């Protein structure tokens, strides 16, 4: 571990992980903490390991009997408990403004944004606004924008890029992420500090669905570099793509925040030396359309403080989902 990094901790730790960490400290066993927080033991273990990696220090002393807070863990537990106490006080102070807000909010987003980020905000929103009904639909990136323009969605969350036209859309940045190259251990590119699209285009590329914003960015960049992509494999999920990389049959491009510590141990993650590798995720609404109180609350809830801008995926999402 590289040592404590405050900014790293602030940017990458979500509230659920904080709560899980405190439960593990109280229960002195990660399995019991997982049951208490309604999460699978394996997922709880991974979150705790990720937290230690992010914090850069060992937080628990482990034994066959369970876990005990390390000296560093005791300090972190105190501050985490203060954070949760402050948030509960804030919720009480804000209750007079949230009580009575009711209605329906329709949200369109890409599946990857839901998995990476949006699920957590929706979970928090449904607890703060129990009278608001969420209608969540996952669409391709261009279809998210079309849903907002047609009025089928109050709010759209999408990746800004060449595949979407924002005429008629009011948008602000929601978050950002970065694309990286994922290659097998031992591959000639694995030891490179960074790679370019020209290098990747010469490899056996594992492509995601043609309608994804990720592949649209990769194809556009390749064309601009005078390269024609000819993927060796096509799959519909990032998990399937990583499995093929692990099997040694090719390379792929994925959002860095979707890679776990286990992925980083099994695979080589190489920086993409390309300006388009940094992606801006946007919240959009129809320009000039009057928003209901429920929709305004939903839009505000999807704009978390920077301190809670965490890439760890949420444990669940609430709402009706249609395709």
Query: For residue range 201-230, what is the model confidence (pLDDT) as tens digits?
Result: 889 999 987 667 788 888 888 888 888 878
Which of these, 99, 18, 107, lies nearest to 54 by C-alpha position?
18
Q: Provide CB contacts within 8 A for 132, sequence distance 6+.
A: 101, 102, 103, 104, 105, 125, 126, 294, 297, 298
Q: How confident is the model at residue 8, as a pLDDT?
A: 65
φ, ψ of residue 163 to 5 degrees: the values are -85, 0
- The whole-number pLDDT of residue 107 equals 93
Strands 252-255 and 169-184, how do they pair?
A: antiparallel
Q: Is the pLDDT of residue 68 over 90?
A: yes
Provide DSSP, 28-67.
Answer: SSHHHHHHHTT--HHHHHHHHHHHHHHHTS--EEEETTEE
- Tell me the pLDDT tens digit for each residue of 236-246: 888 899 999 99
pLDDT score of 289 more than 90: no
Mean pLDDT for 162-191 is 88
pLDDT band at 303 (very low <50, low <70, confident <90, very high): low
Mean pLDDT, range 87-116, rounded to an integer: 75
Instruction: For residues 65-73, give the mean pLDDT.
Output: 93
Rg (CA), the chain: 21
pTM of this structure: 0.57
pLDDT band at 13 (very low <50, low <70, confident <90, very high): confident
Decide: 235 and 244 in contact? Cβ < 8 Å: yes
Q: What percent of the chain has pLDDT over 90?
A: 38
> What's the confidence (pLDDT) of residue 182?
95
Rounded to whole angstroms, the Cα distance separating 244 from 127 reads 39
Output the six-digit token pair for 258. Answer: 């979707």
Residue 36: CB partners within 8 Å, gap ≥ 6? 23, 27
| Domains of the chain as residue ranges with CATH | 6-95 (1.10.10.10), 100-175+284-321 (3.40.190.10), 177-278 (3.40.190.10)
């Amino acid at each position: 571990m590289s040592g404590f990094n405050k900014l790293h901790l602030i940017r990458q730790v979500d509230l659920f992980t904080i709560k899980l960490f405190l439960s593990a400290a109280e229960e002195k066993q990660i399995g019991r903490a997982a049951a208490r927080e309604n999460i699978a033991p394996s997922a709880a273990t991974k979150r705790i390991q990720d937290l230690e990696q992010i914090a850069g220090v060992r937080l628990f002393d482990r034994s066959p009997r369970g876990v005990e807070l390390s000296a560093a863990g005791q300090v972190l537990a105190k501050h985490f408990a203060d954070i949760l106490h402050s948030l509960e006080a804030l919720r009480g102070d804000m209750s007079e403004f949230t009580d009575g807000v009711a209605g329906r909010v329709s949200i369109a987003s890409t599946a990857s944004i839901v998995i990476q980020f949006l699920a957590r905000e929706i979970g928090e929103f449904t607890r703060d606004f129990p009278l608001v009904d969420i209608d969540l639909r996952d669409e391709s990136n261009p279809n998210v924008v079309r849903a907002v323009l047609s009025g089928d969605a109050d709010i759209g969350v999408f990746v800004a890029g060449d595949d979407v036209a924002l005429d008629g859309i009011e948008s602000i940045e929601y978050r950002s992420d970065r694309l990286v190259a994922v290659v097998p251990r031992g591959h000639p590119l694995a030891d490179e500090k960074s790679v370019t699209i020209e290098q990747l285009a010469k490899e056996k590329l594992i492509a995601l669905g043609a309608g994804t914003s990720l592949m649209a960015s990769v194809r556009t960049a390749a064309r601009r570099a005078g390269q024609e992509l000819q993927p060796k494999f096509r799959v519909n999920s990032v998990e399937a793509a990583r499995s093929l990389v692990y099997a040694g049959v090719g390379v792929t491009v994925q959002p860095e925040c979707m890679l776990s510590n286990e992925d980083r141990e099994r695979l080589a993650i190489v920086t993409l030396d390309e300006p388009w590798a940094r992606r801006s995720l946007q919240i959009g609404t129809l320009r000039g359309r009057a928003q209901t109180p429920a929709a305004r609350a939903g839009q505000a809830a999807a704009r978390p403080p920077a301190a809670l801008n965490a890439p760890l995926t949420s444990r669940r999402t609430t709402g009706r989902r249609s395709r």
